[in-house]
Amino acid sequence: MAGRLFAAIDVGSFELEMAVYELASKNRIRRLDHIRHVIALGKDTYNTGKISYKLVDEMCMVLGDFVRIMKSYKVADYRAYATSAMREATNSQIVLDQIRVRTGLSVRVISNSEQRFLSYKAIAAQDEAFDKNIRKGTAIVDVSFGSMQVSLFDKNLLISTENLPLGVLKIRGILQDVNTTVDRTRELTEEMVENELHNYKKMHLKDREIKHLIGIGENILYLFRYEDQGKLLERVSREQFEELYAQICKMNEEQIEERFGVSASYAKLLLPSAVIYQKFMEMTGAEMIWVPGIRLCDGMAAEFAAEHKLTKFKHNFDNDIISTSRSMAKRYRCVSAHSEVVEAYVLQIFDTMKRYHGMGERERLLLQIAVIIHACGKFISVRNANECAYNIIMATEIIGISHVEREIIANIVRYNIRDFDYNMIRMEAQLDSMTEGLSSHKEAVIVIAKLTAILRLANSMDRGHGQKLKDCRMAVKDGELVVTTDYHGDITLEAVSFGQKAAFFEEIFGIRPVLKQKRSV
């Protein structure tokens, strides 16, 4: 029986790409076709801040061809995502509207954290190889045209992920007007890369041991695609990479074209890419690079298949999102027994109120992240902690979380300790970019209000930071959320705070929270 046909379209910084997949049961995702068209959207965006009409015209023509190919395959479903070039272009809304009008395609601009998470899912679809490679001291190094992402794993869990301004197109753009030798170009590239990596090591690596790298992104595919008898070399030792790097350093652009089978425009980008990987290996002492050969389109297919129950990941991605949130909390020194108990309370309230709040697992995750990092603003200012926390969260990417979701988390934390104002909620991102279906500012504000009410109530239950109610029970009875504790000591502070937060909770849910203390006989 034939599987479900799906098309993934990547509107990237340097090329337009479409892949057609057959999705079948038993975790089978088979790529049927792959089409690419080189177009330097990033060059326009990074140099002028916008995409020119000439490129818009070319892009619409190519995407129109993609639509015709999709129809020839009788593709039932598709997703089209745009990345950094569109994300950073000031005229992105006009460009997206042109694409929609002229091709019928709806293109969604995804955040950097969503983009990297998709690539991460594509690797995780290779279950056994992925789990084997992240057991100890592993970094996923994703070198793209616009930036570089480094994600650290240990004991099968994501520890941290950071985005660095080391995109090969950006590096090439900085050096394009420098009239010098091949050796000097390499030296200048190495200098830029070393500076950024030094800062990264000081802030995030410290004494962490990295044994293996997982190399992803278009550039590394070209570096190694002919290294194993005409096939992609998947396992690259440090010695093999150093040998290849030494060869590239001696080549001019024409020789790189011939050696790697790329166009002239692509040849200019392989040296910066090789420099980045070389310097990262040098800095970490990594012994091997695994090149799984995945593309962003593969991640889109894996995501779609998982959402439609056509495949199932063994790896738990929510745990990784929570893990990186805990790392963020450690960075801002807001890990405490209070935060841990409030986290337990908010999840208990959320689950108890499930029939009444109409929210799902994704909102539960956003609430959990909010409570983990809700005190991060105190790292900057105790007096103005909520505003500082809002700014910290908005300035910090959380992998797997969209920009809209990050704004929801930031607003939950912001309004945890200030009057809730329905008309003053900050929502800067496009709301229709949220996969869960939020399509208006009003819907986003309702979600923020609900989750804020839960966080406020949970916070009140540990007002004295004594974890007195940690063994409490909760149930909804006769229009009340009854919280019952067997704690025999003084809970006056918690009771007063609970009563103060109960009014807003009741306003949002129509259910009155009641705190009951069982007295010993």
DSSP of 320-361, one letter per residue? HHHHHHHHHHHHTT---HHHHHHHHHHHHHHHHTHHHH---H
Q: What is the pLDDT at residue 160?
A: 84
Residue whose pair of structure tokens reads 């986290």 in the numeric block: 343
Q: Is the dihedral of CA 79, 448, 370, 316 positive or negative?
A: negative
Structure confidence by residue, pLDDT tens digits, 315-360: 788 898 999 999 899 999 999 999 999 999 999 999 999 999 999 9
pLDDT at 436: 46
pLDDT at 433: 41
Instruction: Determine the pLDDT at residue 1.
Output: 44
* Rg of the chain taking only CA atoms, in angstroms: 25
Indicate the pTM of the whole model: 0.83
CA gap 159, 513 in Å, rounded: 37
Structural element, H or E, at residue 17: strand 15-24
Distance separating alpha carbons of residues 446 and 451, to the nearest angstrom: 9
Distance CA 58, CA 70 (A): 19
**Spatial separation of the C-alpha atoms in residues 473 and 118, rounded to whole Å:** 39
How far apart are the C-alpha atoms of 262 and 339, rounded to whole Å?
53
Q: Retrieve residue 341's tokens.
A: 């108990």
The pLDDT assigned to 432 comes to: 46
pLDDT along the chain (521 residues), means of 10: 86 93 81 92 85 94 97 95 91 95 95 86 74 78 87 83 86 76 84 90 82 86 69 81 90 88 84 92 91 89 89 83 92 93 97 95 96 95 93 90 90 92 70 49 89 97 93 95 94 95 96 88 48
Count other C-beta atoms under 10 Å from residue 254's C-beta: 10
C-beta separation of 20 from 33 below 8 A: yes
Contact predicate 519/485, CB 8 Å: no
Task: Name the residue among 149, 10, 20, 17 with its Cα closest to residue 87.
Answer: 10
Please, what are the domains in the chain?
4-110 (3.30.420.40), 127-293 (3.30.420.150), 317-459 (1.10.3210.10)
φ, ψ dihedrals at 187, nearest 5° = -60, -40
Helix (H, G, I), strand (E, B) or coil at 241: helix
Q: For 40, phi and psi rounded to 5 degrees?
A: -85, 65
